[in-house]
Structure 1
Amino acid sequence: MAAANHIEELYVASDPKIKEFFDSAPPLQDAADIKAKLNEFIQRNFSTSGDGKANRIVCVTSGGTTVPLEKRCVRYIDNFSSGHRGAASTEYFLKSGYSVIFLYRRGTCQPFCRDLPENALLECLTYNNGSNLQVDQKSADVVKRAITEHQAAVAGGSLLKLPFTTIFEYLQMLQLVALLLRRVGPSAMFYLAAAVSDFYVPWESMTMHKIQSGSGPLDMQLAQVPKMLSVVRTEWAPLAFCISFKLETDKDILLEKAGMALKKYGMHMVVANELLTRKEEVIVVLLNDKISVRREKSEAGADVENPLIKLIVERHSEYITASSSA
């Protein structure tokens, strides 16, 4: 396996707008530590098993990015996303034998915690008359399952969680993950479920301190975030299997826009979600096919991510086989 030294030298971007975005972005905090964690994780998980097949690594992005309005940020523009799909999909990828880099928005839904109540600390624990804290009996099974499954993934070294908040952090981290996953080739996957901001305030034009409301109506021009999907596919990790998501509130334009994204950015799949029905059904758009994936309503606790990940794992397997024979 090739060493990942001097990762910065591998960075290329033919689009000048992308280079301009990264050149003007604030430096990623703890970049060296993040890079070290990624290198160690990939080194540990990208080995070959006894049958000679390389282990698979998927980067799952989850939650929405923020757009700061001030450098010392008080106000920001946010993107709607609970992170539920990314968290659920991470669980199913782990159960399917993948190692997962979970790139997630701070404060959003976490793997293995989806069945816990919103205020889990207060609702699941009891403290009586100075005795030790105890898990409430009605929550015991859910808490036990969440803890044991999470600990197993972390102890087994198959889950690496990396948090982000802003659009600047997210895209710099995605770039770093992609460049480091280049060595994994077709055994790498990107499952890009994060809700990424379309517009941002360039760092150099941002005010340092809190914008004062007494100065009157706010007039601010936002720049367009350059599209990174095509550069992930063609330059950063060109052999990886890539899946993006398209969310619309208007079902009449959803499949058209998903098909356009598939061709424009060179994705292997686009998962089309309609806002109101996204938890019940998604449409997987492929180059020559469209596949409806539905939640199995007859099964208690079933979700749409389970059959979705099964389909994706099958198609990734086909892609790896085709790549090895090419």
Structure 2
Amino acid sequence: MIVQYVAYLDGRIHEVAIDWFAQADDGSVWYFGEDVVNFENGSVADTEGTWMVGDQTPAAMIMPAQPRAGDVYRPENAPKVVFEEVRVEKIDQDVAGPSGNIGGAIEVSEVHMDGTREGKVFAPGYGEFSTGSPAGDLDAVSLASPTDTRPGPAPPEFGALSIAVGDVFGAVAAADSERARQAATALDRAWDSVRTVGIPPQTELQMQRDIDTLTRAVGDRDWGSAQSAAQRVAQNELDLRLLHQRVIDVDLARLALWARQLPVDVAAADTGSVRGDTAALDRVWERTRPGVEETEDVDTALEQVRQAADREDLPAVGRTAANLTQAVAGLHTR
């Protein structure tokens, strides 16, 4: 299995990794390396952490099939490049998942190359479920698809939230105080309605934090902060769609969101964010392209955006972003 991992920091692309995994006949999962790209201000900063199986670097087990407390193994062991040693601390644990209790989880302690330690939880149906510490940095699964996909169409409250998120995004992008205030109020109402139909707790915390930040920024007419919060709110709403929609349909909406973000960052003369938008578009298109028909228009428009961003021609980015938005709107899945 080839997995694309994309991390965002404050809503902006931060790290991309392509990971290679395989499952052995006994059920254990083995790690064959990762191709890492770290971003800073929208540009590639380094590729630290990249490693691949080779003559001097064997594959390594990352998830045991039948873990026992006290087991020790090394998911990464490339000398002078990466090192991780894991000890299984607890097995058969119950953890609070996005849609209820999850049984059969394991807790492990991981030692890194620099000697630091962190805890991790692995859970059936998720693989790595959380990493870090609540007292420090904690990366936790908010929801996963198809593991947490719910049957049937989404409740109407979800559709109302999508509309409210789109309205507030447009109002904040236009820096229209009255329109933004009204849109933020409507968003609050739509969000309160969605919370009544049940959503993953961690997603709820994240969305509430970003809506609160958005409301404050709109009240202060701090449009930079408001636009950043509106982007995060829109990303959160797309994550929630995974509860009822196919991954590829949500990813098409992600393409549309990043295309819509481009002219906002062009207007702010934020070259770094424009480059980051382009990198995010590339990553979403990379995983979406095989599942859609008639890709030529998006290929062409995205290449035009990429070239304009590379030469820091922001007006050209703005013009080509409109072509990209139109091309994305015309996509159909296979």
Q: Structures share a fold, TM > 0.5?
A: no
Q: Higher relative CO (CA 8 A, sep ≥ 6), structure 1 or 2?
A: 1
Q: Which has the higher strand share?
A: 2
| TM-score in terms of structure 1 length | 0.30
